[in-house]
Amino acid sequence: MRIYTTLTIGEHHTNHCEDYLITAEIGKEKILCAVMDGCSMGTDSYFAATLTGKLLRKFANEYSYKEFISKKSDNLQQTLEGIIRQLFWELHVLKNSLQLNWDEVLNTLLIAVVDVSNATGEFLCIGDGLICINGEFFEFEQNNKPDYLGYHLQEDFDSWLSNQKQRISAQSIRDFSLVTDGIFTFSRHNNQLYQQSGNVADLLLIDKAGCESANMLDRKRIDIEKEWGLKPMDDLAIIRGIF
């Protein structure tokens, strides 16, 4: 499987990109992928998204080490739930130890654990965003009021997890993407004349032209700007995996 990523600041943002992404090995032939989008109304929202990504990278390293030592591997659902449980707890601890306010720990999270050996995956969206699997779009939209994980850090984890319905179990994966909601904000950024625009989501998440290049998504995003005159108005993070 090849992994492609792109991360860019939106036209409506000036100082920081509030999105973040991470890919990491999480045991033998398993990959952890996640994209985060900080709450624009929060304080230093790029911090929450980045912190979440750094914690996930740490957890992936720990899982890989434990699997290497024990020679045992959890199934994908157990792995994903274990990662989210650990994230829930450590965010709770860090919020208290750093004396952070609620608006400093708010970000969306789209996360996947994918088994490369048998092309299966477990996907979870906390908040809003888009997941694409084998050309099928799963859009999670919460009326611009995402239910951020940071709202629930004082709650019982198992009760919270049981209420999470934005989950997908996938088999026979050929192509998948995790995408922040910046994908829906591409608009004309000047008054110049351009050729007729096509479907941005299809080009970035389904079309495989240029997949021989590790920078495929960056190149496609630049082509969208140069040929169609479109840029994302909001920050954009994409992870795409092609088997």
Query: Per-residue pLDDT averaged across 152-165, rounded?
Result: 96
Average per-residue pLDDT in the chain?
95
Query: Per-residue pLDDT averaged across 172-180, rounded?
Result: 98
pLDDT band at 180 (very low <50, low <70, confident <90, very high): very high
Is the pLDDT assigned to residue 126 strictly greater than 90?
yes
DSSP codes joined into one string, 31-49: EEEEEEEE-TTSSSHHHHH
Residue whose entry in the numeric block shows the structure tokens 């904000």: 185
Q: Nearest CA to 153 among 44, 32, 41, 52?
A: 52
In the chain, where the domains are located: 2-242
Is the pLDDT assigned to residue 218 strictly greater than 90?
yes
- What local confidence, expressed as pLDDT, does residue 173 receive? 98
Query: Per-residue pLDDT averaged across 184-195, rounded?
Result: 92
- What local confidence, expressed as pLDDT, does residue 167 receive? 98
- What local confidence, expressed as pLDDT, does residue 142 receive? 87
Cα 201 to the center of its chain, rounded Å: 15
Does this model's pTM top 0.85? My answer is: yes
CATH class of domain segment(s) 2-242: alpha beta
Question: Can you tell me whether residue 151 is helix, strand or coil?
Answer: helix
- What local confidence, expressed as pLDDT, does residue 72 receive? 85
More confident residue, 90 or 70: 90
Q: Is 229 left (phi over 0), alpha (psi -120 to 50) or beta?
A: left
> What b/e string do you get for 201-237 counting C-beta neighbours within 10 Å, with b at 16 or more?
bebbbbeeeeeeeeebbbebbeebbeebbbbbbbbbb
pLDDT single digits (tens) 159-169? 999 999 999 99
- What local confidence, expressed as pLDDT, does residue 145 receive? 85
pLDDT single digits (tens) 21-62? 999 999 999 999 999 999 988 889 899 999 999 999 999 999
- What local confidence, expressed as pLDDT, does residue 13 receive? 86
Is the pLDDT assigned to residue 15 strictly greater than 90?
no
Cα 187 to the center of its chain, rounded Å: 22
pLDDT band at 144 (very low <50, low <70, confident <90, very high): confident
SS3 content of the chain, % helix, strand, coil (to 5): 35, 30, 35
Cα 65 to the center of its chain, rounded Å: 24
Rg (CA), the chain: 18
Q: Nearest CA to 240 among 207, 195, 200?
A: 207
Rounded to 5 degrees, φ, ψ at 220 are: -65, -40
CA angle 25, 83, 3 (to 5 degrees): 30
- What local confidence, expressed as pLDDT, does residue 4 receive? 98
